[in-house]
Amino acid sequence: MSENTLPTADELREEVRSWLRDNYQPLPRNTDPWVSSPERIAWLEKVLDAGYAVPTYPTEWFGRGYPNKLAKVIAEEFAAIKAPGACQDRYNIPANTTLALGTEKLKRDLLRPFLTERSRICLLYSEPGAGSDLASVRTTATRDGDEWVVTGQKVWTSGAKTADYALLLARTDWDVPKHKGLSLFIMPMKQPGIEVRPLVQITGESHFNEVFINDAKVPHEYLLGEEGNGWRALQVALAYERSIMGDTNRSSRNKKADSLIDLARQYGKLDDPAIRGQLAKVVAMRELNRLNNARAKSSTTPGTSTSIMSLGKLAMSKILHTEAAMKTQIIGAEALLAGSENPVADDVNFLTLNAFFTSIGGGTDQIQRNIIGERVLGLPKEPEIDRDIPFREARRS
């Protein structure tokens, strides 16, 4: 789309407001974060057909070819009335990765279902022996005609029980160095040869799973990027994941302790100079993180990644742990309580435990520090004695 045919920000804002007035009704709350309700799917279909779901995408793939500054207008208007589904080009991991790296068939088959949540996806990256060092995955994909046969094990997979597809990192060549022998696929999950076992978390939930794969099949056309280019392809997907984790944090179960300022006011601590000083620090950290994430997003284009995203994810981890410690301090000895009869304490403890999710998911805090040190600050890389030898010869636990 040429500059001459683009609307002005004011024209687009009025268009979006008018469309939302005519079309949006608040949706019933999803009880399961990994399953989309029929009402939500129907709404996302309307948003996609209107061109608001992925406004920076090309027009042939449901977008409008807008620049980021106009996409931001759409996002602001949807956010103003808490309507979901707009500007998924900023956060939808499977759709954005598919657009950037997928074959024409893959995009035709799955791009729309990913954007409307008719098809949900999980991320099959980590393994029992390859968590922080993802390049050491041993799940193997072997070419067999027009499909790949996959065998291995994955762990810490969110939403695997209900997922329709998985973004799968697998080894396709054992005779080259570890980073060069990987490929990235989108694998159907509802097939023989895939067993999902839930893992109980410290919060008592079971969002994570371990996945056992035995001769599962993946169409060759569901390969993302070229064979052996999985490590580069993975960086694109990880950049979106880290961007999401750097932007957002999870709300609590009872909604009693989500706002740090409201909690301090409720417990009469808002006038405490020490608490106010800590509050100011957290507010400043959040604002700095918001600006840093905006900078990172403005410097990237679809299908690329930036190490700056690691700053946002690491910062959000620090923010969540700091806020959790403050909330515990604010409610005092009440934090020793738990259960539904103590909703504030229950939420404070839940958020304290859940903060560790951001410290681990999408790459641990330690890994983010390595990335920032090496790729942002230009510090020397940590030694990797197995980096340049065939993976078959690498020492493995």
CATH of the domain at 338: 1.20.140.10
Of 192, 227, 262, the domain-final residue:
227
Give the residue carrying structure tokens 């493995």. 396
Closest listed residue to residue 47, CA positions, set 35, 36, 55: 55
Query: pLDDT-based confidence at 249, cuts 50/70/90?
Result: low
Secondary structure (3-state) at 127: strand
Among 184-188, 190-194, 229-233, where is mean pLDDT lowest? 229-233
- Summarize the confidence of residues 70-74 as an average pLDDT: 96
Do 239 and 215 belong to one domain? no
Query: Which domain covers residue 246, as residue numbers?
Result: 233-376
Catalytic status, residue 241:
yes
Do 287 and 205 belong to one domain? no
95 in a domain, yes or no? no
Of 68, 90, 112, the domain-final residue:
90
386 in a domain, yes or no? no
3 in a domain, yes or no? no
Do 211 and 237 belong to one domain? no
Do 27 and 53 belong to one domain? yes
At 24-51, the pLDDT tens digits run 999 998 778 889 999 999 999 999 999 9
| In the predicted structure, residue 397 carries a pLDDT above the cut 60 | no
Do 74 and 145 belong to one domain? no
* pLDDT for position 2: 54
Catalytic residue among 77, 127, 210, 241: 241
108 in a domain, yes or no? no
Secondary structure (3-state) at 303: coil
140 in a domain, yes or no? yes
* pLDDT for position 31: 76
Between these two residues, 100 and 307, which has the higher pLDDT value? 100
Closest listed residue to residue 141, CA positions, set 182, 176, 170: 170
Do 254 and 371 belong to one domain? yes
| In the predicted structure, residue 128 carries a pLDDT above the cut 80 | yes
pTM, two decimals, is 0.83
Using CA atoms, how far residue 341 sits from 330, 337, 346, 347, in Å, is: 19, 9, 9, 11
Closest listed residue to residue 53, CA positions, set 33, 32, 78: 78
69 in a domain, yes or no? yes
Of 163, 197, 227, the domain-final residue:
227
Do 237 and 356 belong to one domain? yes
Query: Do the beta carbons of residue 86 and residue 17 sit within 8 Å?
Result: no
Do 83 and 160 belong to one domain? no
List of E strands, the chain:
121-124, 140-144, 147-154, 165-171, 182-188, 194-199, 208-219, 223-224
Query: Domain tally for the chain?
Result: 3
Query: pLDDT-based confidence at 255, cuts 50/70/90?
Result: confident
Do 192 and 244 belong to one domain? no
Between these two residues, 200 and 155, which has the higher pLDDT value? 155
Do 237 and 359 belong to one domain? yes
* pLDDT for position 201: 79
Percent of the chain exceeding pLDDT 90 equals 68
Do 183 and 59 belong to one domain? no
3-state helix, strand, coil in the chain (%, to 5): 50, 15, 35
Do 251 and 370 belong to one domain? yes
Domain at 191, CATH number: 2.40.110.10
Nearest-angstrom CA–CA distance, 123 and 157 = 6
Count the residues in the chain: 397
387 in a domain, yes or no? no
Query: pLDDT-based confidence at 127, cuts 50/70/90?
Result: very high
245 in a domain, yes or no? yes
